[in-house]
Amino acid sequence: AYIESLEGLFRDLDANGSGTISFEDFTNHLERHETSALFSVLGIEVSDAISFFETLDVDGSHELEIDEFVMGCLNLRGNVRTVDVATLMRENKRLVQRIGKVAKSTDDQLQHII
Please give the helix or strand (H or E) that residue 81 lies within, else none.
helix 80-113
Q: What is d(CA 68, CA 82) in angstroms, rounded to the nearest whole number?
A: 17
Size of the chain in residues? 114
Q: What is the pLDDT of residue 51?
A: 79
**Domains, the chain, with CATH or none:** 2-113 (1.10.238.10)
Reading the chain (114 residues) residue by residue, the pLDDT tens digits are 778 888 988 998 898 899 999 988 888 888 888 887 877 777 777 776 777 788 888 888 899 999 888 888 887 776 555 556 677 777 778 888 889 999 999 999 999 887
List the one residue out of 77, 30, 83 whose CA is nearest residue 54: 83
pLDDT at 82: 58
Round to whole Å and give the CA distance between 111 and 7: 48
CA distance 82 to 105: 35
- E strands present in 24-95: 63-65
* Cβ pair 46, 52 in contact under 8 A: yes
Of 47, 44, 38, 54, which is closest to residue 90 (Cα–Cα)? 54
Q: Could you give the CA distance from residue 64 to residue 70 in angstroms, rounded to a whole number?
A: 10
